[in-house]
Structure 1
Amino acid sequence: MAVHLRLPTAVFLLVCSGVLSFPVGQEKRDATTCGYQSCHATKPTMLNVHLVPHTHDDVGWLKTVDQYFYGDRNDIQHAGVQYILDSVVDQLLKNPDRRFIYVETGFFYRWWKQQSPSMQQTVKQLVNEGRLEFVNGGWCMSDEATTHYSAVIDQMTIGLRFLNETFGICGRPRVAWHIDPFGHAREHASIFAQMGYDGFFFGRLDYQDRNRRMKVKEQELLWRASDSLTPPMADLFTGILPNGYNPPEGFCWDQLCSDAPIRDDPDLEDYNVDDVVWRFLHAAKSQALVYKTNHIIMTMGSDFQYENANLWYKNLDKLIRYVNAQQTNGSNVNVLYSTPSCYLQELHRANLTWSLKTDDFFPYADNAHNFWTGYFTSRPALKRYERISNSNLQSCNQLEVLGGPVSRKGLFGLGDSETLRKAMAVAQHHDAVSGTEKQHVANDYAKRLAKGWQHCQVLVSNSLASLTGSSAERIYCDNLNVSVCPLTESSKKFSVSVYNPLGRTVTWPVRLPVNGTAYSVTDTQGKYVDCQVLPVSRATQEVRRNRGFASNELVFQVQAPPLGYSTYSVSLLKDQPSSSLLPHGAPTVIQNKFLQVTFDPDTGLMNGLINLETKQTIKLTQNFYWYNASDGNNYESQQTSGAYIFRPNSSTPLMVNSKAKVESFQNSVVQEMRQWFAPWVSQVVRLYSDSKAVELEWTVGPVPVNDRQGKEVITRLDTSIKTSELFYTDSNGREVLQRKKDFRPTWQLKQTEPIAGNYYPINSRAFIKDDMDQLTVVTDRSQGGGSIYNGSLEIMIHRRLLYDDYRGVGEALDERSEIFPDGLVVRGRLLLSLERPASAADAHRPLAQEVVSQPLLSFTDGDLSQNARLEFSGLQASLPPAVHLLTLSQWDKESVLLRLEHQFQSWESKVNSQPVTVNLQKLFSTLDVLGVSELNLSANQWKDEMRRFDWTPEKEEKPLPKTFEDLSVWEITLRPMEIRTFLLRVTFK
């Protein structure tokens, strides 16, 4: 079957069956009873209690994702997802009134593939009748503090696409459902709104915030999740669930629960119907006092429940029957099976106005001394590996498109992007990249990412072989950050291909482990590139252990075209003494044509930063500190620091060292100051010749715990900038939010933890500023940070703890490995940029994108073939500075998925905060675009057929900005912060 996509003009795109199995909005059912049409009738004059049977199935936490699915290792936790789905389907068939919602598509996909055709048909019937409903629909329920928006969009797309292809319109979730994440990001709400969700429900928010909202009945609100997108584009109705995601106390009837069942035989001595009904009516009426309508929701389920669904449904059937029977005695409570979307529909029908929220829900605390801000940094090595894997996946996706079908099956065998795509999707789970899982589960996430990258390496090699015309074997060196690459260490001549996944040309520093002292490097034109050799630092030698044996590093800068590669040839010259191998004396300055960094000659610490272009000068001191972690022996609280909770035992951190031993190397490519603070803390302050940012490469670990004291390690930047207790962080890598010390925009904070209560997630960047200066810090992974003192910015970079924090994980965050049996050593980078506030975003946004989507290096031994194509760009020209190519991936044999985004907020830049027009037909150099159709952000609905509920805020805060129309079907306009998603039908030129 083929379907035609309706377009604004005569242009059309022919989509083969399976691309979007049911173009949502065009599919006509004779009797569609799913979604809002499947909801049970309510009673307008009564209090309607919506019972929502559900299970919360972590995609890894105490057990691995495989162990959870199969029900393995029940000695750790009794949980088996396959049995839950088996049991629920069986019970739904026994009573058409029953309902169930399912969330984690990654688990459902596994189960579905194991079912017989007849069972699959049965499940489709349940879905078509609205008895089994999918909510959220992503591959997992992602974390909101430590995830990057690009990875979140990808994992939502993969889950929603499966549901769309399998169930059509009835498989499309109407509601986003994040019942377990530990705080909620504004960017997530914006993403959900742009994906077409009508509403969003979550379970956790700060205890002080909840108390206030309960008093004023603002537990349901309208979240305006962007200050740039035209309302209601990023407006999302948001509901806070009454019991987290658990049942009311005393009404849990799972096999994991101990509450008494409903005993309804009056001839038996322990008959309890009257007691159950009385307690339920009391619970319902108490809950109704803190919500705004005559509809309330009760989540009837919890972690991995419904493995024996008969227990739940038998008691829920009775509960509904006996409570509703009281209506004949004057009760005004009506109980019904429901779903979050049915509950949402009733709230919409109420036609009320709702309080408006424009900030986010960070940080989250469940008690006065229990701030869940430690996980912003927990497992920093895994957080970095996840970020690198995301970059590798984007390159893999792009090269699959640019290289054509030969990418998947070519010279080097069968490759695929799907394995890494699914591994990345699992890694977004709120107990994965968050770092709040057991150690063996963290290891499993990393193994999945590594396996996915192996599959992608074959694909990338095939693609590059096709694009270059060279059959030379390609080598990938995944440990370059610790100066390990066997090929470059041993080869006298090799080539480096640098693939750039960004839509603009980038200049990037390359550091390769070598054993020679003199090399020549030539570019694609055969021109010599300035290169220098430096000795491998002592810190690098220690951290790499026995994985590599290079004595030196070859350093040069490369330039790669947009969505393309450049190839550089490296040759060993006859070894000769090199002055660059010798350290200089301890200078007080390193500088290039853009920046100057000054150091105190007595302490070896940085003490100033100058932008030579703008003539800005600030005082800047940077050092390392640690907070001793609470061990629970405190008169105020027994709360300890752990994987989730950050709780220092003092507000004053301890300095690692007031001085640093220094060693300096300066040459025409790079100037660097190597600093040693302690045997477990070192750093290189680095300034490349063409860079407008200072690089701080830190190495921390093993964090010493011989004193039996867990430690939270930070680096702190103290400046002369007058910040007035304000600083700024990004939200999932996109929009920027203002933070203020000891302050929350929508409620009166009583601060009880002066450090942990002022920490926020930093996904890609944070900054401090005043009227004259802005210092931006770009991070290479998600981390926690705060501005505790005026002019100061601190970032937590490592954690080693000796106690569990009693939030379920059941083990201390004390990471070790075979390589680091004495404690994990972590290395990372911070980039510092000093600009005028009015133009700072023009610098730090592209800088952050370069760190998130870094070039991919591959190596070939010896010379490439004589006719090899040494340079290639997949674009006809660089994209405008405001435009980022977010997604380019193969959708089916003839179609590709394209996402373009405007990466500036409306107020950020005089130059780049303007609408930008892009011509889709003139975008690619090797692809002819034959047809186009626009989809919503998650690519499971046509954009022009997406319909969402309208909600009315209590007050509008500002007038709506003007809108811009596309010039044609090919020339599309992007407004600030807008992401647009297209399905393109393409052929190779």
Structure 2
Amino acid sequence: MISVSLSNMAALRQQQLAAALLFLLSQGLSFPLGQDSKQAPTCGYQSCHATKPGMLNVHLIPHTHDDVGWLKTVDQYYYGDRNEIQHAGVQYILDSVVDQLLKNPDRRFIYVETAFFYRWWKQQSASMQQTVKQLVNEGRLEFVNGGWCMSDEATTHYSAVIDQMTLGLRFLNDTFGPCGRPRVAWHIDPFGHAREHASMFAQMGYDGFFFGRLDYQDRHRRMTNKEQELLWRASDSLPPPVADLFTGILPNGYNPPEGFCWDQSCSDAPIRDDPDLEDYNVDDVVSRFLAIAGSQSLVYKTNHIIMTMGSDFQYENANLWYKNLDKLIHYVNAEQANGIKVNLLYSTPSCYLQELHRSNLSWPLKTDDFFPYADDAHDFWTGYFTSRPALKRYERVSNSNLQTCNQLEVLGGPISRDGPFGNGDSQTMKEAMAVAQHHDAVSGTEKQHVANDYARRLANGWKHCQVLVSNSLASLSSSSVERVYCDNLNISVCPLTESSTKFAVNVYNPLGRTVTWPVRLPVNGTAYTVSDPSGRSVDCQVVPVSSTTSRVRKGRGYAVNELVFQVLVPPLGFTTYSVSLLKDGPPPASTKHYAPTAIQNKFLQVTFDPSTGLLSGLSNLETGQSIKLTQNFYWYNASDGNNSESNQPSGAYIFRPNTSTPFVISKTAKTQTIQTSVVQEVRQWFSPWVSQVVRLYSDSRALELEWTVGPLPIDDDLGKEVITRLDTSIDTNEYFYTDSNGREVLQRKKDFRPTWNLRQSEPIAGNYFPINSRAFIKDETDQLTVVTDRSQGAGSIRNGSLEIMLHRRLLYDDVRGVGEPLNETSDIFPEGLVVRGRLMLLLDRPLTAADSHRPLAQEMVLQPLLTFTNGELHPNAKLEFSGLQASLPPAVHLLTLTQWDDNSVLLRLEHQFQSWESKTHSRPVTVNLQKLFSTLKVLGVSELNLSANQWIDEMKRLQWTPESGKRPLLKTFEDPSPWEVAFTPMQIRTFIITMSN
């Protein structure tokens, strides 16, 4: 009976092998025999194993995907702690992989997250470090991507992404030299892909980009048409091929093919290759693998295919993987003697990319992005655009604080790191911000305790930076008086200003141009005088703290009033204002309880419907424009997954409203009005958990909407997704526009995708897109732009409408791994999180709108830093300082100024306009680097690529040909002189500057 069974099994194996061979041969592949070639061991493309030109070459990529925080914190993942949550220990992965690589020189492994590798490296002995360097030098251990983390693409700002990539790549460069430089960008897990990320990767010198997730409809079309590998033209302003990036879509996300996972976390059978044992399965494994390889070859263009052999936190016991992979390669390749034209090899993404490049084919061209992402008809991953809005805001504030910290470290010199207030550093904050860019960090898709850890890291980084900032300001101002930081000014909390009768406010501006900025300080007096650095009196007003602010403070402050005035701050510098209490001054501005009809300054008029208290119109008094504008708050009922169409609920990742019509929170608003010479406010209350201040400062061209939402009530057992919607008279024709990571703008259209015919199944969630700094709607005459203070989700569901999601509180997990509902509470808000934010509205002509919204968006990202000193100013104190000789041209933005080593700094300048958006500023512009700084003498300049890990003239990238035409030739714009550098629209240039104070 046994012999009959074995005989039948053997026959079945032969049938499977024959079928697999016929399947492969039927694909039209030509298989002339090729010869292997031997190459000297070295890193990079030269270290790749030889392939066989007449065969289907299957590139096996051993890898691990190590989230820098998700279900566990960064530390817990590294050490392998809290394994009851998830079994994962990164230190053991690296230990095990290195051990296994040493046992077989054919083996390869790629590693991605420098944040983890950096920790591991520091703990290794000198001999182990030398061993690892040898593995890297031979290309057996290869770094891909190489940033501190694998960043999110929807909710990150480009400046923070560049910083975290620079941090990781610099460590690899310093440690391993050219062999440590990644050649491939690798974003296998982010939930949709931004065009600006591709543009940045191209400018960082990457030859290609691979990812795993794209919309299920898009994938189906691309598989059918063999367009899963393409050329992404990621800028409409940078001349090709500057922002061209070859992009490949991986076949299995980032997992191994089904049935071929050999990790301790997997349950697939190992390869049992002893023919004397009953459970021998080599023939079965080979036939199944050949069938999978043949099937995969049908949907890619060349005779090379890629397979990711690994997944989340795998290779903790690398022997399991490598022992089976060795056998798989051996037994499949042995079938070549029987006519099977399939060749397996250990490979890396760069080696696979090299073979695609050698094919000399042309590739489909893509110019839009990969948002939104859906993995099924009712499963749109658009909720995380807004998830954890408080963390998203804190990350944005922390980015601004880090840039200020970096700049003052340079401007203050060595004393900034070791000065009167102790030892300060920027590195702690750099690493905390880098970790926060991870695709389960600022995205809001982590467990609550992990979100708390990200926030704790940012807070700790800022503490280190505060010492540095205090030291630097002490040096630059010639005053070592103690400085106070008030991080809760957004809710009117600052103990010093609340109690002091005389104090000074130092305002530092991290932008490269002069900024006018409104200052609002919590006070308990009723009248004050404010003096500028020249001693001139500044118009100031005292207004009462709103009842909403008093409620949100939860006892953290006791000010009854706010002192409001505007300051003028020089570029890359500070100014100091003195504030004194008046004992017998006038009373504070009074609140009026009637609904206003209008507020206005010299730039804008804002009208209200007196019967509802809601906005009714907006006019630009400079241009004569006027539009109807109503604004209100609504909430979508979050699906609990219990309906006939789908069992998918809303969760941290996925937005799925239960209906297409949101519930209005209130059709009317209770109002209070305050009108002063500095600011006019209409305070609106829509419900106990939604309020807003409509605010217009005297010198502002933008209308401010300060919203406060929460705690979202759930006593009705309904999850809520709160939006604000702006309905206008603008004829949008179903188009609206969003930024990409805070930089270039993309056109969106309702129920439309540029590269495939969309079958829309979620009319709301399927029309949401990420915004990082702004979105706008327009017609031929009017453009309404909304500038945001954090990343959020937005859509234009109705003609002339723009809606922005502000807050989410959900009662169900969306079954994407996080394992808990997005139901945020805290010690301060146990009843549910309260979130406050700002939207800035601009009304302009379409052809001039960018002249306003570009600089305003930069102001929202890089806000002035306020520090305070108590009592009288030191008589010899320097009250004003600018690190620049003059403001930069309006088209130029100072992106990075940070200490590089003891004698040099890293400087990035960028042209911040697209080629088509401004008649005035979308032109080339030059900057003289020698005449840039006021106190720093520039001795020498060298230019690098965007990530600062290659000299710009040594950066050589693989060039690709689009199907739509010939390979483009780069057009260059020459610098006028060695010191005068030119910038064309959207160009970022990175320099190492040698200088002296």
What range is the shorter-chain TM-score in?
A: over 0.9
Query: Which amino acid letter does the alignment assign opposite residue 916 of structure 2?
Result: W
2:129 to 120, 123, 140: 120
1:797-821 CA-partner distances (Å, limit 9, x unpaired): 0000000000000000000000000
Contact 1:642/1:805 (<8 A) preserved:
yes
Corresponding residue for residue 511 of structure 1 = 520
Corresponding residue for residue 179 of structure 1 = 188
Contact 2:596/2:613 (<8 A) preserved:
no
Query: Which amino acid letter does the alignment assign opposite residue 47 of structure 2?
Result: S
2:218 to 199, 206, 209: 209
Give the distance between the partners of 1:770 and 1:32, measured in 2 at CA. 60
Corresponding residue for residue 638 of structure 2 = 629
Corresponding residue for residue 460 of structure 1 = 469
Corresponding residue for residue 873 of structure 2 = 864
Query: Which amino acid letter does the alignment assign opposite residue 134 of structure 1?
Result: F
Shift in Å, 1:267: 0.4
Give the distance between the partners of 1:532 and 1:960, measured in 2 at CA. 59
Cα 1:575–1:958 change in 2 (3 A) is farther
1:884-939 CA-partner distances (Å, limit 9, x unpaired): 00000000000000000000000000000000000000000011000010000000
Query: Which amino acid letter does the alignment assign opposite residue 728 of structure 2?
Result: T
Secondary structure at the aligned position of 1:838 is classed as coil
Query: Which amino acid letter does the alignment assign opposite residue 459 of structure 1?
Result: L
The alignment status of 1:804 with 2:813, answered yes or no, reads yes
2:837 to 819, 823, 828: 828
| Aligned 1:473-552 pairs, distance under 5 A | 473-552=482-561
2:304 to 284, 290, 295: 295
Secondary structure at the aligned position of 2:848 is classed as helix
Corresponding residue for residue 169 of structure 1 = 178
Query: Which amino acid letter does the alignment assign opposite residue 604 of structure 2?
Result: L
Corresponding residue for residue 885 of structure 2 = 876
Corresponding residue for residue 138 of structure 1 = 147
Query: Which amino acid letter does the alignment assign opposite residue 399 of structure 2?
Result: N
Give the distance between the partners of 1:957 and 1:864, measured in 2 at CA. 66
Contact 1:242/1:287 (<8 A) preserved:
yes
1:639 to 627, 648, 656: 648
Secondary structure at the aligned position of 1:857 is classed as strand
Shift in Å, 1:963: 3.2
Give the distance between the partners of 1:78 and 1:761, measured in 2 at CA. 32
Query: Which amino acid letter does the alignment assign opposite residue 247 of structure 2?
Result: T
| Aligned 1:517-666 pairs, distance under 5 A | 517-578=526-587, 580-583=589-592, 585-666=594-675
Corresponding residue for residue 379 of structure 1 = 388
Corresponding residue for residue 30 of structure 2 = none
Shift in Å, 1:961: 8.6
Corresponding residue for residue 11 of structure 1 = none
Contact 2:669/2:685 (<8 A) preserved:
yes
Corresponding residue for residue 29 of structure 2 = none
Corresponding residue for residue 104 of structure 1 = 113
Shift in Å, 1:586: 2.6
Once superposed, which parts of structure 1, at least 4 consecutive aligned residues long, lie more than 6 Å away? 957-961
Give the distance between the partners of 2:627 and 2:968, measured in 1 at CA. 38
Cα 1:579–1:266 change in 2 (3 A) is closer
Give the distance between the partners of 2:724 and 2:966, measured in 1 at CA. 38
1:513-566 CA-partner distances (Å, limit 9, x unpaired): 000000000000000000000000000001111100000000000110000000
1:352-400 CA-partner distances (Å, limit 9, x unpaired): 0000000000000000000000000000000000000000000000000
Shift in Å, 1:584: 6.0
Secondary structure at the aligned position of 1:460 is classed as helix
2:737 to 716, 723, 728: 728
Query: Which amino acid letter does the alignment assign opposite residue 721 of structure 1?
Result: I
Contact 1:147/1:428 (<8 A) preserved:
yes
Cα 1:444–1:201 change in 2 (3 A) is same
**Structure 1: gaps spanning 5 or more residues:** 1-29
1:753 to 755, 762, 768: 762
Query: Which amino acid letter does the alignment assign opposite residue 667 of structure 1?
Result: T
Contact 1:584/1:666 (<8 A) preserved:
no
Give the distance between the partners of 2:428 and 2:967, measured in 1 at CA. 45
Give the distance between the partners of 1:351 and 1:958, measured in 2 at CA. 11
Give the distance between the partners of 1:771 and 1:985, measured in 2 at CA. 49
Shift in Å, 1:580: 1.1
Q: TM-score, normalised by structure 2?
A: 0.96
Corresponding residue for residue 87 of structure 1 = 96
Contact 1:776/1:833 (<8 A) preserved:
yes
Give the distance between the partners of 2:630 and 2:165, measured in 1 at CA. 42
Shift in Å, 1:863: 1.5
Cα 1:872–1:957 change in 2 (3 A) is farther
Secondary structure at the aligned position of 1:317 is classed as helix
| Aligned 1:328-343 pairs, distance under 5 A | 328-343=337-352
Query: Which amino acid letter does the alignment assign opposite residue 937 of structure 2?
Result: D
Q: RMSD in angstroms over aligned alpha carbons?
A: 1.0
Corresponding residue for residue 36 of structure 1 = 45
Give the distance between the partners of 2:276 and 2:248, measured in 1 at CA. 43
1:908 to 910, 914, 917: 917
Corresponding residue for residue 917 of structure 1 = 926
Corresponding residue for residue 405 of structure 1 = 414
Give the distance between the partners of 2:575 and 2:891, measured in 1 at CA. 24
1:88-146 CA-partner distances (Å, limit 9, x unpaired): 00000000000000000000000000000000000000000000000000000000000
1:740-791 CA-partner distances (Å, limit 9, x unpaired): 0000001110000000000000000000000000000000000000000000
Contact 1:584/1:665 (<8 A) preserved:
no
1:447 to 445, 456, 474: 456
Which range moved further: 579-588 or 877-886?
Answer: 579-588
Give the distance between the partners of 1:500 and 1:581, measured in 2 at CA. 32
1:178-234 CA-partner distances (Å, limit 9, x unpaired): 000000000000000000000000000000000000000000000000000010000
Give the distance between the partners of 1:986 and 1:234, measured in 2 at CA. 31
Give the distance between the partners of 1:215 and 1:575, measured in 2 at CA. 80
Shift in Å, 1:587: 1.6
Corresponding residue for residue 940 of structure 2 = 931
Contact 2:409/2:468 (<8 A) preserved:
yes
Corresponding residue for residue 678 of structure 2 = 669
Contact 1:515/1:551 (<8 A) preserved:
yes
Give the distance between the partners of 2:626 and 2:941, measured in 1 at CA. 50
The alignment status of 1:790 with 2:790, answered yes or no, reads no
Give the distance between the partners of 1:957 and 1:58, measured in 2 at CA. 40
Give the distance between the partners of 1:373 and 1:559, measured in 2 at CA. 39
Contact 1:764/1:782 (<8 A) preserved:
yes
Give the distance between the partners of 1:841 and 1:597, measured in 2 at CA. 21
Corresponding residue for residue 12 of structure 2 = none
Secondary structure at the aligned position of 2:83 is classed as coil
Contact 2:333/2:343 (<8 A) preserved:
yes
| Aligned 1:55-66 pairs, distance under 5 A | 55-66=64-75
Query: Which amino acid letter does the alignment assign opposite residue 441 of structure 2?
Result: A
The alignment status of 1:737 with 2:746, answered yes or no, reads yes
The alignment status of 1:853 with 2:868, answered yes or no, reads no
Corresponding residue for residue 8 of structure 2 = none
Give the distance between the partners of 2:984 and 2:302, measured in 1 at CA. 37
Give the distance between the partners of 2:324 and 2:983, measured in 1 at CA. 53
Percent identity for Structure 1 against Structure 2: 82
Give the distance between the partners of 2:152 and 2:139, measured in 1 at CA. 28
Query: Which amino acid letter does the alignment assign opposite residue 87 of structure 1?
Result: S
Give the distance between the partners of 1:380 and 1:914, measured in 2 at CA. 37
Corresponding residue for residue 8 of structure 1 = none
Q: TM-score, normalised by structure 1?
A: 0.96
Shift in Å, 1:300: 0.1
Corresponding residue for residue 256 of structure 2 = 247
Shift in Å, 1:968: 1.5
Shift in Å, 1:583: 2.9
Query: Which amino acid letter does the alignment assign opposite residue 261 of structure 1?
Result: P
Corresponding residue for residue 71 of structure 1 = 80
Corresponding residue for residue 724 of structure 2 = 715
